[in-house]
Chains A and B, each alone.
Chain A
Amino acid sequence: MGARAMTRTASTFTFCTVQYESGDWDSAPLVPANVIDSVARYTSVEVNPTGVVVPLASADLLRYPLAYLTGHLPVRFSGSERDMLRSYVMRGGMLFVDDHNHDVDGVFHKSANEELTRALGAPLKALANTHALYSCFFKFPEGPPTTGHELNGWGDNLVHKNLFAHLVGDRIGVLYSSKDYSSEWGYHPDNKRFLSVDNTRFAVNLVVYALTR
């Protein structure tokens, strides 16, 4: 049983939501299922039907190549969380951070950027819209897809042209979004049938990029 479980974990992609001690890390409970659905819908990647929640300070985080972190409230990492984040990024993991407030003046954006800068030793930089992330599966020639929340004018009332990233060599270690994909993808996957264009396609790129780079 243990060996089978290990095999499954090692060979099957599992969506990982990061739990941190401060803030509302669980503010987008339907995103994992939606991303998992898209991975299965468009790729042949073996994927677990449910995601997992892993504390940021836990070494279990190193078992997952892609980790998702979101929230509305101020983010204050503990020392062990900061250490594990640094270790995770340096060892090849990719952390996707999304501002659920979609507000660059909001507390999540400010505090998360402070914490990431402190943990990584350098501020995040704008990711070029020609980066391989935008073409590794679906093609996004304009860069990151726009969300309905941006177009509706909620949050900071901006349409963000770029995502931000911390690169390790030429690989993305941390990807930061102010576009609020957490709201955009926060619906039951069965309701994709009502969409003329699946708005979770970019999530497939995130997974494919994390697994192949």
Chain B
Amino acid sequence: MSALERLARVQRELTAAVITGSVLWGASTAVALLAVVAVADRALTLPLELRSATPWLAALAAVVAATWRVRRAGPFANPRAVALWVERTEPALRYALVTRVDPAGAASADALERAIARVAFEEPARRAAWRPLLRPAAALAAGVVVLFALPAGAVARIARPAAGDIIKARRGAGDALAHVAVTVTPPAYSGIAPTTIDDASRVSALVGSAVRVVGAAVGEPVAAHADSVRVQLAEAGLKWTADVTMPVAPSVVHFVQGTHERLLLLEPRADSAPTVSLTAPARDSVLKVATGTLRLAASARDDIGLDHGAFEVVISSGEGENFRFRTLTIARAALGNARTATLGGAIRLDTLKLEPGDLLHVRAIALDRNTVGGPGLGSSETRAIRIARAGEYDSVDVDAAPPPEERKGVISERMLILLAEKLEKQRAQLAREAFVGQARVIARDQNTLRKQVGNIIFSRLSGDPVDEKEGDDDPKRANMTPEQLLAAANAATEAAGAEPLDFAGGESPVVNINRPLLEAYNAMWEAGRELGVADVKRALPHMYVALAAIQKARSAERVYLRGRPKDAVVDIARVRLSGKSDIIGPSSRLPRGNLDAAAIARLARFDVALGILGTRPAAATDSLLLLRAELLGAAPTLAAPLGDALDQLRAGKDATEALIAARRTLAGVSAHAAPLGAWGRAP
């Protein structure tokens, strides 16, 4: 065997030793880390998060240590470096091996081979390669011994950490309530997997969920009661367990062991009923005949899962006091516990034997799979499909309604009469100037109304619609006396008489219609003139005549003295504070309302808890927990910010902001999600 072949064998052995040594160093580092954490967890009960990260940290440490050892071992892949390493372990070679590896020594290869052949360097090199592995092997063995020396379960808490393993199964004295694990198993219908929470102070779960609380069976026996009802505890192995069912209303489970106490707030979460929306038919309808197909479509969703859905159709027949009803269920479909689903179907109307006047009330329904308090039933809005009665379309079928609101914007003759009568009654108390002034105001309104009447008359006579404003400014018509206007009307009537109109009573229809308005116009003229000279007493009879004539005209063909209302722009400056001030309350802004007795009591409890938070945090947290339990039932909207504060406190975080928000809520000071601008309230 040549020297180079012998060197190659040594190089392979050296490589194996270096790799093995690196693995041992990595493994011993990982085992040492696990052992240290396990010992620390035994003493301090490390949190789940840290224990969960430990295996990954150990693996990382092993890789880093092994890599470092490989790099530190040197260039064992290079034959010249290996030859030098062999020369260090066996000085008898006198650098013959290094020279043989060097290409420059090829000229004296035979002499070098003979010199190397005289030295057995393999065995010293093997010993030198494997000797460094003793230390990592010893460290690994020590770590393994430590791990095996730990109590049962201690290594599993590090290697396979899981929620709930915070409970250490051991005997002896101690606080059995220091740590508890709560396992929540939702009702089977929900299909939700059980969850375990370590050291929970409150548990939120579906109503009917099984809640199992587990603690270490150390020290005195543990007792528990929920809302004054004793809770049965059982000991299994080295642990105690308490089983309760999530109630409908919030409840607090109170655990006691000697002087130790612990509270667990049970926060029930209701299973919501399905939400159903009917998309077809989209709106209520009236059908002339009961034929064809009515398409049905709906969508449904549920927070847990839907069981089945269908369409419900109620058919009402009859009228007056005699009605009959039929109920049909159409297109029932199993929804397979899906959270969202669509329903579809159709009704063939001609198969329902519908009669005119019958009414179909259509809605969609969906049920969930709640076997605890349900099933929850959700229904959509109802659409009404009516079959028209015979003859319904033969005449105008309208519901009676009061006149449009616009007519209220027009001053009426009746209002003017009321004003004039009131003014006449006040004649003795008023100064002459005031009386004349008010009479002229009424006269002006009377003339305005007369012009409106004139507009209608002129429009009828000419056949052209006349704009009210233009009519007011028409100098030709404005200068006409009542007699001239009447003559014009008669002339128009005579002209119309040549046309083939339906005469009645010897007069043309135009005169029949317009005569009352002409009479009103004349009476208004007289009334306006009398009011203009402040002779209200003489004006009133003309006003009565005008009102009667207008009423007569209205009866004839429903003529309302109105038009399209103008856009109303309020003259703010004119009306500012012109209202009657004696009927206004003493203050336009009241302070925030006083809290009721219950709210004051809750706020006082909150303040007491805050007061002891610095010195007795556990007691303060329990007080806040009990307050939240009460609020969940009495005022759920107030409980939410308190829950946030409790979570912060339990996690050991700064709860200042959450406590401030909770107190503001309890004190009745609302906060906005976002500012509204200048009108928004202070946050």
A residues contacting B by CB (< 8 A) are 9-11, 13, 28-30, 32-34, 36-38, 40-44, 47, 49-50, 62-65, 74, 76, 90-93, 111, 114, 132, 135-139, 154, 168-171, 183, 186-189, 191, 194, 198, 201, 208, 211-213
Distance between Cα atoms of A92 and B670 in the complex (Å): 9
Q: What would 12 A/B residue contacts be, using CB atoms closer than 8 Å?
A: A37-B570, A40-B570, A43-B588, A50-B567, A50-B569, A92-B680, A132-B590, A169-B670, A186-B408, A191-B409, A194-B419, A201-B583
Distance between Cα atoms of A90 and B681 in the complex (Å): 12
Contacts of B577 in A (CB 8 A): 40-44
Chain B binding surface SS class: loop
Q: A10-B677, A91-B674 are in contact. Are A188 and B568 (CB under 8 A)?
A: yes
Contacts of A208 in B (CB 8 A): 588-589
Whether the pair A10, B571 counts as a contact (CB closer than 8 A) is no
Interface positions, chain B 402-437, Cβ under 8 Å from A, are 402, 405-406, 408-409, 411, 415, 418-419
In the complex, residue of chain A having the shortest beta-carbon distance to the beta carbon of B678: A10
In the complex, residue of chain B having the shortest beta-carbon distance to the beta carbon of A197: B583
Whether the pair A135, B590 counts as a contact (CB closer than 8 A) is yes
Q: Chain B's nearest CB lies how many Å from the CB of A132?
A: 6
Q: Chain A's nearest CB lies how many Å from the CB of B675?
A: 8
Interface size class of B (residues with CB under 8 A): 35 or more
Interface positions, chain B 664-680, Cβ under 8 Å from A, are 668, 670, 672-674, 676-680
Find A91's partner among B588, B668, B672 (CB 8 Å cutoff): B672
Q: Is B572 at the interface (CB under 8 A from chain A)?
A: yes
Whether the pair A49, B578 counts as a contact (CB closer than 8 A) is no
Whether the pair B579, A38 counts as a contact (CB closer than 8 A) is yes
Interface centre among A38, A41, A137, A201 (most CB of B within 10 A): A41
Q: Chain A's nearest CB lies how many Å from the CB of B377?
A: 16
Contacts of B570 in A (CB 8 A): 33, 36-37, 40, 49-50, 189
Distance between Cα atoms of A41 and B577 in the complex (Å): 4
Q: Is B123 at the interface (CB under 8 A from chain A)?
A: no
Distance between Cα atoms of A29 and B568 in the complex (Å): 9
Q: Is B44 at the interface (CB under 8 A from chain A)?
A: no
In the complex, residue of chain A having the shortest beta-carbon distance to the beta carbon of B277: A118
10 additional contacts (CB under 8 A) given A40-B575, A62-B676 = A34-B568, A41-B577, A44-B576, A50-B567, A92-B676, A137-B585, A138-B585, A188-B409, A189-B570, A191-B411
Find B568's partner among A33, A114, A183, A211 (CB 8 Å cutoff): A33
Distance between Cα atoms of A44 and B284 in the complex (Å): 47
B residues contacting A by CB (< 8 A) are 283-284, 381, 402, 405-406, 408-409, 411, 415, 418-419, 565, 567-572, 575-581, 583-585, 588-590, 593, 637, 668, 670, 672-674, 676-681
Find B593's partner among A28, A33, A170 (CB 8 Å cutoff): A170
Contacts of B408 in A (CB 8 A): 30, 186-188, 191
Distance between Cα atoms of A38 and B673 in the complex (Å): 32
Q: Chain B's nearest CB lies how many Å from the CB of A61?
A: 11
Contacts of A62 in B (CB 8 A): 676-677
Distance between Cα atoms of A114 and B588 in the complex (Å): 34
Q: Chain A's nearest CB lies how many Å from the CB of B592?
A: 8
Q: A132-B593, A208-B589 are in contact. Are A198 and B584 (CB under 8 A)?
A: no
Q: A62-B676, A114-B381 are in contact. Are A139 and B569 (CB under 8 A)?
A: no
Find B590's partner among A38, A136, A170 (CB 8 Å cutoff): A136
Distance between Cα atoms of A94 and B377 in the complex (Å): 32
Whether the pair A171, B670 counts as a contact (CB closer than 8 A) is yes
Whether the pair B568, A40 counts as a contact (CB closer than 8 A) is no
Contacts of B571 in A (CB 8 A): 49
Whether the pair A189, B676 counts as a contact (CB closer than 8 A) is no
Contacts of B575 in A (CB 8 A): 37, 40-41, 189
Distance between Cα atoms of A201 and B588 in the complex (Å): 13
Contacts of A171 in B (CB 8 A): 670
Distance between Cα atoms of A212 and B585 in the complex (Å): 15
Distance between Cα atoms of A92 and B576 in the complex (Å): 28
Whether the pair A41, B579 counts as a contact (CB closer than 8 A) is yes
In the complex, residue of chain B having the shortest beta-carbon distance to the beta carbon of A182: B405
Contacts of A9 in B (CB 8 A): 677
Contacts of A49 in B (CB 8 A): 569-572
Distance between Cα atoms of A190 and B409 in the complex (Å): 8
Whether the pair A138, B411 counts as a contact (CB closer than 8 A) is no
In the complex, residue of chain A having the shortest beta-carbon distance to the beta carbon of B284: A74
Q: A30-B565, A169-B668 are in contact. Are A63 and B677 (CB under 8 A)?
A: yes
Contacts of A13 in B (CB 8 A): 679
Contacts of B572 in A (CB 8 A): 36, 40, 47, 49
Distance between Cα atoms of A186 and B581 in the complex (Å): 23
Contacts of B588 in A (CB 8 A): 43, 136-137, 208, 212
Q: Chain A's nearest CB lies how many Å from the CB of B286?
A: 13
Distance between Cα atoms of A40 and B574 in the complex (Å): 9
Q: Chain A's nearest CB lies how many Å from the CB of B413?
A: 13
Q: A40-B572, A42-B584 are in contact. Are A198 and B579 (CB under 8 A)?
A: yes
Distance between Cα atoms of A33 and B679 in the complex (Å): 21
Interface centre among A64, A132, A137 (most CB of B within 10 A): A137
Q: A169-B668, A208-B589 are in contact. Are A188 and B565 (CB under 8 A)?
A: yes
Q: A49-B571, A154-B402 are in contact. Are A41 and B585 (CB under 8 A)?
A: no
Distance between Cα atoms of A187 and B407 in the complex (Å): 8
Distance between Cα atoms of A139 and B411 in the complex (Å): 30
Find B576's partner among A41, A93, A213 (CB 8 Å cutoff): A41
In the complex, residue of chain B having the shortest beta-carbon distance to the beta carbon of A7: B678
Find A90's partner among B283, B415, B567, B673 (CB 8 Å cutoff): B673
Q: Chain A's nearest CB lies how many Å from the CB of B596?
A: 10
Contacts of B568 in A (CB 8 A): 30, 32-34, 188-189
Whether the pair B590, A30 counts as a contact (CB closer than 8 A) is no
In the complex, residue of chain B having the shortest beta-carbon distance to the beta carbon of A154: B402
Distance between Cα atoms of A104 and B232 in the complex (Å): 54
In the complex, residue of chain B having the shortest beta-carbon distance to the beta carbon of A100: B405
Q: Chain A's nearest CB lies how many Å from the CB of B587?
A: 8
Distance between Cα atoms of A18 and B418 in the complex (Å): 37
Distance between Cα atoms of A126 and B349 in the complex (Å): 41
In the complex, residue of chain B having the shortest beta-carbon distance to the beta carbon of A15: B570
Find B679's partner among A34, A65, A201 (CB 8 Å cutoff): A65
Q: Chain A's nearest CB lies how many Å from the CB of B88?
A: 81
